[in-house]
Amino acid sequence: MEYDACALAEIGDGGKKVVSVGEAKVLLLRKGEEVWAVDAKCPHMNLPLSPGKWDGEILKCRFHGACYNVADGSRVKPPWLLASMGSDTLPTYPVTIKDGRIFVETAGSQ
């Protein structure tokens, strides 16, 4: 199901924003005119990713340092604490930008 998440202008270049899409909380990340959507919680210990550091490609969780490539959700650096916990992959969601608005596709129904 595709959801109208927010206006592109609501996120500055290099910025982040947490939005609700259906029942999911999603973190949107913008670089130029591109936007990625990932789960708002880190798969290591389910803590919020929004305070993390974002360099336009890699998102670093501020809690234990796990780093994720936002394009495919792969973990490129494990957390320093209990690295064996949680998933190695951050869920990602397809994004479309239409008429200045960001649409995010998630599984499930409305």
Residue 12 phi, psi (nearest 5): -70, 160
Strand ranges for 1-110 from DSSP E: 2-7, 16-21, 24-31, 34-39, 53-54, 58-60, 67-69, 75-77, 92-93, 95-98, 101-105
Name the residue nearer to ligand FES (CB basis): 22 or 65: 65
Interface with ligand FES, residue 83, by CB under 6 A: no
Among 26, 35, 40, 66, binds ligand FES (CB under 6 A): 66
Stretch 18-57: interaction string toward ligand FES, x if CB under 6 A: ------------------------x-xx-x----------
Find where tokens 């880190």 sit.
42
Interface with ligand FES, residue 67, by CB under 6 A: no
Beta bridge partners of 16: 29
CB of 79: closest distance to ligand FES in angstroms? 4
Residues in contact with ligand FES by the rule CB under 6 A: 42, 44-45, 47, 61, 63-66, 79
